[in-house]
A = this chain, B = another copy of it.
Amino acid sequence: MKSRLIKLARMPEGMPQIIDFQLEEDELGPIKNGELLLKPLYFSVDPYLRAAMSGGHPPNLNVGDIVKSRGIAEVITSTHRNFAKGDFVMGYMEWRDRLVASASELNRLEARGLPLSAYLSVLGSTGLSAYFALNEIGKPKKGETMVVSGAAGAVGSIAGQIGKIFGCKVIGIAGSDEKIKLITSDFRFDGAINYKTSKDIGAAIKNLCPEGVDVYFDNVGGDVSDAVLSSMNNYGRVVVCGTIAEYNDSQPAMGPRLLPLIVFKKLLLQGFLIGDYKDRFEEGRTQLQQWLADDKIRYQETITKGFEQLPNAFIGLFNGENLGKMLVESR
C-alpha cells in the first residue's frame, strides 16, 4: 500500500519555511505481528516541534527524518488482540497518510461524548499542560491576579479559564483584535491586551493590574514577558510553559537580566514539560471533562484540512494563525 509522507528536507534557519519540508511517497512494508495499519485522522502541530528541529526538545529531528507529532488514527487492520478494525487510537505518529505502527506505542481512544479532535486539544497535551502546569507551578490562590501570554492559544486559553475557576482575576495577552475578543467574550477573561497594537505593553499591564501580578503563565517569552515580569508581586510564580517568540532564534536573544528581579521579589520560575505528568493524565482529563460539562471551560480549535497542509499549519503557528489548538485533518 502506498503512503504519502512528509520529511524534514533541511534544518530550518530562523522561521520555518515550506521548503524545509518535502512531501514524498513510499510503499508500506508488510504488517508484522503486534502492528496496526492506521489511517490518521488528525495530527497535532505544536510550537515545541520547532525546538525539536534544533536539538532543543525531544524528539530530535534531523534532515531526512519523517516528522512526528501526536495524532489520532482509525485502525484499518489489526494484528493485535486488543485492537480491532474501526477502533480509534492516539499516540506519536509519523506524518504519513497511511501508517504501520506498533500497537504497544498507541493508546485506544474512547471518545466520551466529545469530538475526536478534543483529545488532541482540550483533553490532549495542551489542555493537560494548562492543568498541570498551573496546578503544580503556578499554584493560583483565590483573589490573586494572573496574566497569561499566548492567551488565545491552545494552552493559554485553557490555563486562563482554570485561573478563573480558582478565583483569580485573569488578564490575557494575544496578537489580534479577533483573539482579544475571543479571550474576553468566549473564554471570559477579565481583560486582554493586544501586544501588537499596544504602544506600551508594560503600561497596559500596570493599567489592568494595578495590584501587580501573582502568577504569570508564559507561552511566548520575549518582550511580552519582559513587560509582565516587571510587574510581578513578591513571591510571584512564573510558569514557563513555552517561549514561541524565541524558538526561531539561532543565537540566544538578549533581554533584561532576570536574576536581580528574581532575588528582590523572591520569584519562582519553573520550566514545564507535560511528559513529566504522564501518570496523572487520567486525573487531568477527568477534571477537564467535568469543567467542560459544567461550561466552566470552553475550547477552540483551528483545523486545517488535508494531509499535505501539515507544514503550512505548523508554520502558521509562528504567524499566530491559530485560534486555540492548531490541528490538521488528514483524509
Contact = CB atoms under 8 A, between A and B. Distances in A.
Contacts of A255: 254-257
A51 interface: yes
Given A240-B263, A252-B257, A266-B273, 6 more contacts: A56-B260, A221-B257, A240-B259, A252-B260, A259-B269, A267-B271
A187 to B, nearest CB: 23
A241 B243 CA distance: 25
Interface of A: 51, 56-57, 218, 221-222, 225, 240-243, 246-247, 249, 252-273, 276
A74 to B, nearest CB: 34
B270 A267 contact: yes
A152 B111 CA distance: 60
A294 to B, nearest CB: 31
A269 B252 CA distance: 18
A57 to B, nearest CB: 6
The secondary-structure label for the interface of chain A is mixed
Number of this chain's copies in the assembly equals 2
A242 B268 contact: no
The 9 nearest A-B residue pairs measured at CB = A252-B256, A221-B259, A266-B271, A263-B271, A262-B271, A255-B257, A240-B262, A269-B269, A268-B270
Nearest to A256: B252
Contacts of A267: 269-271
21 contacts: A51-B264, A56-B260, A56-B264, A221-B257, A221-B259, A240-B263, A243-B257, A246-B259, A252-B257, A253-B256, A254-B254, A254-B255, A254-B256, A255-B256, A258-B258, A263-B272, A266-B270, A266-B271, A266-B273, A268-B269, A268-B271
Contacts of A260: 56, 221, 243, 246-247, 249, 252
